Amino acid sequence: MSDCWRALRRPGFPLTAWPWRSAAYLLGCGLSGAVLCAVLLLWAAVGGVLSVLLVGVPLLAALPLAGLVSGAWERRLVRWMGGAPVADPHRVPDGPGPRAWLRVRYGEAATWREAGGAALSAFLLWPVELSVVAGALLLPAWLVTTPLQLALDGEQVNVLKVWQLHAPGQAWAVAAAGAALLALAGYPLTVAAGARAALARLLAGGQQRVGELVRSRARLVDAFEAERRRIERDLHDGAQQRLVALSMSLGLARLDAPPGGPLARRLAAAHAEADAALAELRELVHGIHPRVLADRGLPDACTDLADRSVLPVAVDVSLPGRLPAAVESAGYFAVAEALANAARHGGASAARVHGRWSGGRLLLEVSDDGAGGADAAAGTGLTGLADRVAVVDGRLSVSSPPGGPTLLRVEIPCTPTTVARCASSSPRTPSSSARA
């Protein structure tokens, strides 16, 4: 709750500074809205005239950017109404130069929210704001000065062109009523200013709390991924090595045991069980956090998934470098889930993995020629996968009509952490990639 709403509930509110702060805030919003209205009309007129020569087309296209200046000014003004400062909602450009800046600004929702807020302020709100200030302050102030008006006039004063005052006692009564109105005007002034500040926060920084929650969830996911890697490392370096040593010891013991006897059969059974446990542990370790993903990146990890798949999988993944660990992990498990679904549920005979980094986003597509019918809302692994992608501010979409084909698409905004080129392009034939 904003500070002004709490102040309204306190006794003695008209004697505080809040009515004057509210009046100053509304006056600032109204005057800046009037100036913005004049600037936008002049801007549009000049751009419209020059558009005949095609010179004004870029000028008209730049009109939404006026919201950036208006939004920054509104974020400064809203401090008068208390509460937490409104953070800048705009993203940092992916690279240097005006082209990267313009691409980010025109592509983000914050720019268009602020453009809408600027149009609202310029063509609708500022007359209302100035009228509220004038009605709440000028009229009571004029009534308060009634005795002075009577003294200067000498005989009578016309109050609101309704009645004539002749006696000083009448003038002082009207002045007292004006003072009471001036004290009471602080309430509607503050309510109007609070509503205006709430609108400014919604348009300029309405996603701030959501952004904080997303960042908090991302930090939890980072901690979870770090814990997964620690568990994978402990299993790989600890339990897996012990099972390898046990399997070797059992193999040596089989060499010393008399062949064909009960002891040899029991050792052979124990050796087989140890090998099976070792194979299951290796699959478990790989599923927790694949070592190839941490060591060599997403393209090679996708190639590894293709090698492990029972389907022939063509892999075409090309990235400009290593991506953030959370992004690589989300992309890897998206590909893994898509290939697993194609093999287990889709009845596919082949699949394809395509990946690129473009426009500040990782784009991954997994397609198969299966029967289709995949539904993320049916409680499958796609629901959890969509949540995992959403944590890194990504988006997952699935196109899977009955009869196929199925296309899973993942888009995750990210910036490469290295400049080394990382690519894997390995279309496979069924004989080279299928594994029973």
Higher pLDDT, 61 or 227: 61
Are 198 and 248 within one domain? no
- Which residues, 6+ apart, have CB-to-CB distance to 405 below 8 Å? 367, 368, 369, 370, 372
**Cα-Cα-Cα-Cα dihedral of 198, 204, 209, 213, to 10°?**
160
* Amino acid at site 68: L
Are 270 and 313 within one domain? no
Are 366 and 322 within one domain? yes
Domain assignment present for 424: no
Find the helix or strand (DSSP H, E) in which 350 lies. none
Are 201 and 238 within one domain? no
pLDDT given for residue 364 in this prediction: 92
Domain assignment present for 357: yes
CA distance 403 to 397: 18
What percent of the chain stands above pLDDT 70?
76
Stretch 137-158: mean pLDDT, rounded? 69
Parent domain of 239 = 215-286
| Cα Rg, the chain, nearest whole Å | 35
CA distance 426 to 417: 24
pLDDT given for residue 2 in this prediction: 59
**Alpha helices by DSSP H, 51-108:** 56-61, 66-77, 98-107
Among 160-174, 266-280, 296-310, top mean pLDDT goes to 296-310
pLDDT given for residue 1 in this prediction: 43
Q: Which two tokens stand for residue 139?
A: 């009229």
Domain assignment present for 421: no
Q: What is the DSSP track for 181-217?
A: HHHHTHHHHHHHHHHHHHHHHHHHHTTHHHHHHHHHH
Are 35 and 58 within one domain? yes
Write out pLDDT tens, residues 388-399.
788 787 888 888
pLDDT given for residue 123 in this prediction: 92
Q: Which two tokens stand for residue 96?
A: 């240097």
Domain assignment present for 431: no
Stretch 210-226: mean pLDDT, rounded? 59
Higher pLDDT, 16 or 290: 16
Which range (1-15, 119-133, 174-188) has the least confidence?
1-15
Say if residue 354's pLDDT is above 90: yes
The domain boundary, picked from 158, 177, 206, lies at 206
CA distance 251 to 275: 10
Name the domain count of the chain: 3
**Mean of pLDDT over the chain:** 78
Rounded (5°) CA angle 114-118-119: 120
Say if residue 159's pLDDT is above 60: no
pLDDT given for residue 50 in this prediction: 79
Backbone angles phi, psi at 432, to 5 degrees: -100, -15
Q: Is 372 helix (H, G, I), strand (E, B) or coil?
A: coil
Domain assignment present for 255: yes
pLDDT given for residue 228 in this prediction: 62
pLDDT given for residue 32 in this prediction: 93
Are 167 and 220 within one domain? no
pLDDT given for residue 6 in this prediction: 76
Would you place residue 56 in the very low, low, confident or very high pLDDT band (cuts 50, 70, 90)? Answer: low
CB of 435 closer than 8 Å to CB of 417? no
Under DSSP, the state recorded for 373 is -
Which range (37-51, 103-117, 380-394, 399-413) has the least confidence?
380-394
- CATH number of the domain to which 356 belongs: 3.30.565.10
pLDDT given for residue 39 in this prediction: 92
Under DSSP, the state recorded for 15 is G
Say if residue 74's pLDDT is above 80: yes
Domain assignment present for 427: no
Backbone angles phi, psi at 409, to 5 degrees: -125, 130
Say if residue 428's pLDDT is above 50: no
pLDDT given for residue 207 in this prediction: 47
Higher pLDDT, 40 or 206: 40
CA distance 160 to 250: 108
Instruction: Say if residue 405 is preceded by a cis peptide, omega within 30 of 0.
Output: yes
Q: Is 374 helix (H, G, I), strand (E, B) or coil?
A: coil
Nearest to 222 by CA among 299, 319, 295, 329: 329
pLDDT given for residue 276 in this prediction: 80
Are 163 and 186 within one domain? yes
pLDDT given for residue 127 in this prediction: 92
Domain assignment present for 364: yes
pLDDT given for residue 434 in this prediction: 36
Among 90-99, 166-175, 179-188, top mean pLDDT goes to 179-188
Are 149 and 222 within one domain? no
pLDDT given for residue 382 in this prediction: 73
Are 255 and 296 within one domain? no
3-state helix, strand, coil in the chain (%, to 5): 65, 10, 20
Rounded (5°) CA angle 389-342-384: 25
Are 321 and 403 within one domain? yes
Say if residue 367's pLDDT is above 80: yes
Q: Which two tokens stand for residue 205?
A: 């920084």
Cβ atoms within 10 Å of 131's Cβ, excluding its own:
12
Are 151 and 233 within one domain? no
Which range (65-79, 83-97, 133-147, 212-226) has the least confidence?
212-226
Domain assignment present for 356: yes
Write out pLDDT tens, residues 247-276.
888 888 878 778 877 887 888 888 888 888
Beta bridge partners of 227: none
* Amino acid at site 280: E
Would you place residue 433 in the very low, low, confident or very high pLDDT band (cuts 50, 70, 90)? Answer: very low
Are 20 and 153 within one domain? yes
Backbone angles phi, psi at 195, to 5 degrees: -65, -40
Say if residue 236's pLDDT is above 70: no
Find the helix or strand (DSSP H, E) in which 407 lies. strand 406-413
Stretch 328-338: mean pLDDT, rounded? 87
Antiparallel, parallel or unpaired: β 163-165 and 422-426: unpaired
* Amino acid at site 313: V
